[in-house]
Chains A and B, each alone.
Chain A
Amino acid sequence: MYNVKEVVANKPSRFTSGHRMCAGCGAPAVARMILRAVDEKDHVVVSNATGCMEVSTCIYPYTAWTDSYIHTAFESASAAESGAEAAYKSLKKQGKLPEDQNTKFIVFGGDGGTYDIGIQSLSGAMERGHDMTYVCYDNGAYMNTGIQRSSATPRFADTTTSPAGSVIPGKMQPRKDLTEIMVAHHLPYVAQTAAVANFKDLYEKAEKAINTKGGKFLNVLAPCPRGWGYATEDLMKINKLAVDTCWWPLYEVENGVYHITYKPANKLPVEEFLKTQKRFKHLFKPGNEWMIEELQKEVDLRWNELLAKEEMTNKQVSE
């Protein structure tokens, strides 16, 4: 049974303090918890895409990573990790590494480095079946360069390249559903998660992903106080609202079978989530009600699709 106190007290943090991520950022909590899910005896090679996490955690001559770590470029984290994993296989096979060495391969990338510029190398590495876990910390824009829209940016969000203007009220396109794109790679394990309820969902999915053989993908919601516009102390509240509104459903797909890991007893209206953030402030101006309605429709549609997929894939298994 998962117990947050035990995990935090007994498992050392492999991602140390002293890094320079912003207060109230969702990403470092995600990285720390995911690495805590690694067996303590195991060694990790982390590959990190260019982005906030990289520029804030590994500034020469310092590093916040106690495991082996490599950063190459923005779009190449998956490919670099696939090379490291291939090296591991080759050296292991030739007896050039200690027999008891167990190395895990974990990639961290933001949504820009994953949904956009890194999708090719991610797709390639996953299709090739490298034994690695890709973790996307999704904050829905290019935050490192100053909040530019990405294909993960939700519809109507105000960003610096999709500003809420008088003619065009923010980003006009719906976000790409990367989790489903990764499901379509027929991987052994794909999950969407967030840091909620004492990190239970996040920790358990990370543990499962890391200990499953093959290509695994975790999409983790990681709010950004600067980009989203919220007070730093509201981080966990926003995570909670994202899942309670079904804005960010928590689910996993194991060998093609869907399992929704959290179904809110009381599904909240999407505006409860939207109103906590400045990026959606213009949606609450008189005359813009339609935008909130559109987003509610989109959330409902996707949630119902997910429920249907869960039902369908589980039925196939039981047949």
Chain B
Amino acid sequence: MSIRERLSGNEATAYAMKQINPDVVAAFPITPSTEVPQYFSSYVDNGQVDTEFVAVESEHSAMSACIGAEAAGARAMTATSANGLEYMWEMIQIASSSRLPIVMALVDRAISGPLNIHCDHSDAMAVRDSGWVMLFSETNQEAYDNMLMAHRIAEHKDVMLPLMVCQDGFITSHAIENIELLEDNKVKEFVGTYKPEHYLLNREEPIAVGPMDLQPYLTEHKRQQTEAMNNAKRVIAEVAQDFEKMTGRKYDFFEGYHLEDAEYVVICMNSTAGTVKNVVDSLRANGVKAGLLKVRVFRPFPGELIAKALEGKKSVAVLDRVPLLNATGGPLYEDVTSAMFVEGIHVPTVNYSYGVGGRDVTEEQINQVYEDLQNLNDMSNPYRFLGLKERR
């Protein structure tokens, strides 16, 4: 029997970490993820986990310590947000290229500057091609469930890549929702123990991690990393199947909500999907064939599947919770449209930058998007803003 509880997204994440019982957690405080190491520290200091908690002096050192710990043969975890992730950036790449299955809770927040502590996805998007598996979570339940699946994916021998579970800062991290938790023994059994093949603390087989890797080998090592990211697709699906068997909760690369017969589709990630679902319900009641495609697995990007799911639609809006600073479109938009191009699928697709720096996302705004999609005559400027207050 699962346990019914009411937890915030941060509490749910910390609780999942407690049940996973990692060997090392290294973390540094930053809003809005601070609560994760905070809750976790109390588990450590009250003897509820076997974890060594390393209260590092910076996020750079948090990721460095996770790298050292994971390379040493331990299961290492961390949590961060925004500038913390940016400060880790150098080590983020070193973690993935060293093929260390570190798991991170990323509580998405706007990156500076100017300083803003509220939700958008600019932190996650800044590391999107760093070789990490990236799972997004609409609700506290999904943040919890994704965390329980994380190690099975990251530590799979065909993957061996770090993984981050993303959720929306404050919107889910600090909001208390009903949640179904699993019993400790079920989690323990599902997650399993980490048995690395090669590790620093194996005195019988001393290894060197992080060598100078020059022209003769680097290209092949990077190709192998690419293959690992591709393999992650299969493993993510397998783990989701096992998870469904245990919990009845189904997870896929993306979730379709009234997607199959939809004519007008909104694509987004994380908490905004909840608002979109409400709008879809009311539009459907009025006979508008609205649908939602909520991306859960952002890296590896399930481009082919998404493109095929969009085939035959009348129009699509991709919502990117980031500022558009490249004069071509947000990261999710670029990925979706290039996937459609590769598959030879052409559906008029527009892009909205929205919810930046925690700007509220209202049903009114989402309604406006569907309205736009039904009257999409002018594609001369597909790059748009949602909820903008200034006159343009």
Contact = CB atoms under 8 A, between A and B. Distances in A.
Given A79-B56, A84-B71, A91-B74, A63 B211 contact: yes
Contact of B91 (A43, A54, A73): A73
A65 B210 CA distance: 13
B58 to A, nearest CB: 6
Interface in A7-61: 43, 45, 47, 54-55, 58-61
Interface in A81-104: 81-91, 93-94, 97-98, 101, 103
Contacts of A85: 68
B64 A87 contact: no
Interface in A117-143: 120-121, 123-125, 127-128
Given A72-B210, A84-B71, 19 more contacts: A60-B217, A68-B203, A69-B209, A70-B210, A71-B209, A72-B91, A72-B94, A80-B65, A82-B54, A82-B68, A83-B67, A83-B69, A87-B69, A87-B76, A88-B72, A93-B52, A101-B203, A120-B61, A124-B56
8 nearest A-B pairs in the assembled complex, by CB-CB distance? A83-B68, A124-B57, A83-B65, A79-B64, A87-B74, A79-B61, A80-B68, A83-B69
A90 B71 CA distance: 14
Contacts of B203: 43, 68, 98, 101, 103
Contact of A94 (B23, B200, B212): B23
B73 A91 contact: yes
Contacts of A59: 211-212, 214
Range class of the B interface residue count? 35 or more
A90 B208 contact: no
A252 interface: no
Interface of A: 43, 45, 47, 54-55, 58-61, 63, 65-73, 75-76, 78-91, 93-94, 97-98, 101, 103, 120-121, 123-125, 127-128
B91 to A, nearest CB: 6
Interface string B195-237: 0000011110011111111100100000000000000000000
21 contacts: A55-B212, A58-B210, A59-B212, A65-B206, A70-B68, A76-B64, A76-B67, A80-B71, A83-B66, A83-B67, A83-B72, A84-B201, A86-B68, A87-B68, A87-B72, A88-B72, A89-B52, A93-B50, A101-B203, A120-B58, A124-B57
A58 B211 contact: yes
Given A67-B206, A71-B210, A86 B57 contact: no
A259 to B, nearest CB: 30
A68 B201 contact: yes
A58 B212 contact: yes
Nearest to A75: B60
Contacts of A63: 208, 211
Contacts, number: 170
Nearest to B49: A90
Contacts of B361: none
Contacts of B360: none
A58 B212 CA distance: 6
B55 interface: yes
Contacts of B58: 120-121, 124
B64 A73 contact: yes
A116 B296 CA distance: 42
A87 B52 contact: yes
B150 interface: no
Given A83-B66, A121-B57, A127-B57, A65 B208 contact: yes
B90 interface: yes
B33 interface: no
Interface string B92-135: 00100010000000000000000000000000000000000000
A103 B57 contact: no
A61 B156 CA distance: 25
Contacts of A69: 200, 206-209
A3 B56 CA distance: 41
Contacts of A127: 57
B160 interface: no
